């Protein structure tokens, strides 16, 4: 059977890969191998997600770890090249926009192995964002480009990608979201909100990890000051990304749980979705959370000047905010004035099924 490598490396990749893995296994027409680059390695950033998504252990763990962009990308490429040479896959599938995505697509293409990119075509048009470079390079060399929404198709066509390579399949992260929502029962929800000592619908969930928000002292201090102010009105739960925690420590910023502000270690997928589902609103700079809140119909404030996921604003519940207008927007939500939004087309839990069909035909067609 033709062989397909599914490549993941960082937290947001795992829930994008899992549904496709299960579809490929179900189809019984390709041999899948999971490659984990090790870009994320802490238990709660990696292994806990494999457990919650019920994935098997990866076939390869490259242990690339952290470092500068060049160091990390280079280590992933060197490790992945050995895997491709040993496995001789018929197709490599990469997900999202992290350094592992670009590193492995480049490596595969140079060894003449075709590449499929899941979550292609998203653009923030902001070159200061490392992910924007990763997206553009990956899309430029991929053979199959799976987009979540029409803006993705339009961006790719504008960049000269031939139409026959582009497949609009919907949002694969929503497949995982729907699956885990089905496993979160009332008991579990009650337990989680009790564990975090909050009432359902009566807290704000915060995640912030983008370098543009957390790498500089003044910005980070301003954000923490705002969160502490907000927590006087409503409890604020802030599971803190390792990057943010390390910056807080390195900059010697005083950030402790006080009053309604609860700073804590990152939480695993199942807990995070439970917390999200029951929050009053979410404040984030993550890409995926903008999409999950749109699906859940939950107000989302994105602390960024732009987004590569504009559909979450035009059709969903998301708005971009900055430190000047964040207070006004959160007050609007707290007083019950917020747009309803709707779920974009094809965010229906069947994206992996659509991708698997195309991938199976492509890999088998190439071999025969």
**Which is nearer to ligand UD1, 66 or 150 (by Cβ)?**
66
Instruction: List active site positions.
Output: 209
Q: How far is the CB of 353 from ligand UD1 (least distance, A)?
A: 26
**Which is nearer to ligand UD1, 49 or 338 (by Cβ)?**
49
Task: Calculate the CA dihedral of residues 123, 127, 131, 135 and round it to 10 degrees.
Answer: 50
Residues 46-105 that bind ligand UD1 (CB under 6 A): 66, 97-99
Query: What is the pattern of x (binds ligand UD1, CB under 6 A) and - over residues 123-162?
Result: -------xx-------------------------------
Beta bridge pairs of residue 168:
147
Query: Cα–Cα distance between 133 and 126 in angstroms, integer?
Result: 9
Query: Cα–Cα distance between 297 and 100 in angstroms, integer?
Result: 31
Query: Cα–Cα distance between 32 and 6 in angstroms, integer?
Result: 7
Query: Cα–Cα distance between 71 and 75 in angstroms, integer?
Result: 6
**Which is nearer to ligand UD1, 105 or 231 (by Cβ)?**
105
Tokens found for residue 363? 């890999």
What contacts 84, CB < 8 A, 6 or more positions away?
Answer: 5, 92, 107, 108, 111, 113
Residues 274-333 that bind ligand UD1 (CB under 6 A): none
Query: What is the pattern of x (binds ligand UD1, CB under 6 A) and - over residues 231-250?
Result: ----------xxx--x----
The binder of ligand UD1 chosen from 42, 71, 199, 202 (CB under 6 A): 42
The binder of ligand UD1 chosen from 168, 209, 262, 270 (CB under 6 A): 209
Q: How far is the CB of 152 from ligand UD1 (least distance, A)?
A: 17
The binder of ligand UD1 chosen from 41, 49, 60, 272 (CB under 6 A): 41
The binder of ligand UD1 chosen from 4, 5, 11, 106 (CB under 6 A): 11
Tell me the site size for ligand UD1, rule CB under 6 A. Answer: 19
**Which is nearer to ligand UD1, 102 or 198 (by Cβ)?**
102
Task: Calculate the CA dihedral of residues 267, 271, 273, 275 and round it to 10 degrees.
Answer: -90
Classified as helix, coil or strand, 3 is strand
Q: Is 40 in the site for ligand UD1 (CB under 6 A)?
A: yes
Classified as helix, coil or strand, 6 is strand
**Which is nearer to ligand UD1, 14 or 21 (by Cβ)?**
14
Q: Which residue has the tokens 């802030």?
A: 238
Q: Which residue has the tokens 């197709």?
A: 91
Q: Chain-centre distance of CA 214, in angstroms?
A: 18
For residue 267, give the H/E element and its range: none
**Interface with ligand UD1 (CB under 6 A):** 10-12, 39-42, 45, 66, 97-99, 130-131, 209, 241-243, 246
């Amino acid at each position: 059977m033709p062989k397909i490598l599914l490549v993941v490396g960082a937290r947001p990749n795992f829930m994008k890969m899992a549904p496709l893995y299960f579809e490929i296994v179900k189809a019984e027409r390709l041999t899948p191998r999971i490659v984990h680059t090790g870009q994320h390695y802490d238990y709660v950033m990696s292994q806990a997600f494999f457990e919650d998504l019920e994935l098997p252990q990866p076939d390869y763990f490259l242990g690339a770890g952290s470092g500068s962009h060049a160091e990390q990308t280079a280590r992933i490429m060197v490790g992945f090249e050995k895997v491709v040479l040993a496995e001789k896959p018929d197709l490599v599938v990469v997900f999202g926009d992290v350094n592992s995505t670009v590193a492995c697509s480049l490596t595969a293409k140079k060894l003449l192995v075709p590449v499929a990119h899941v979550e292609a075509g998203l653009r923030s048009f902001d070159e200061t964002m490392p992910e924007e470079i990763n997206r553009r390079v990956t899309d430029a060399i991929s053979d199959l480009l799976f987009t979540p929404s029409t803006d993705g198709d339009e961006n790719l066509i504008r960049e000269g990608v031939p139409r026959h390579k582009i497949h609009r399949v919907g949002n694969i992260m929503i497949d995982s979201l729907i699956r885990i929502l089905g496993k979160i029962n009332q008991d579990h929800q009650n337990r989680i909100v009790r564990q975090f000592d909050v009432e359902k619908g009566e807290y704000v969930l915060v995640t912030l990890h983008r370098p543009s928000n957390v790498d500089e002292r003044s910005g980070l201090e301003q954000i923490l000051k705002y969160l502490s102010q907000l927590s006087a009105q409503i409890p604020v739960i802030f599971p803190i990304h390792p990057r943010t925690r390390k910056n807080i420590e390195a900059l010697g910023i005083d950030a402790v749980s006080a009053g309604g502000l609860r700073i804590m270690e990152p939480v695993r997928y199942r807990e995070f979705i439970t917390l999200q589902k029951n929050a009053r609103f979410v404040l984030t700079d993550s890409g995926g959370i903008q999409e999950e809140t749109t699906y859940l119909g939950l107000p989302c404030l994105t602390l960024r000047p732009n987004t590569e996921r504009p559909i979450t604003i035009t059709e969903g519940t998301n708005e971009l905010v900055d430190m000047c207008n964040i207070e006004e927007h959160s007050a609007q939500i707290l007083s019950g004035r917020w747009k309803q939004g709707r779920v974009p087309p094809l965010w229906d839990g069947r994206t992996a099924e659509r991708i698997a069909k195309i991938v199976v035909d492509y890999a088998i067609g190439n071999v025969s």
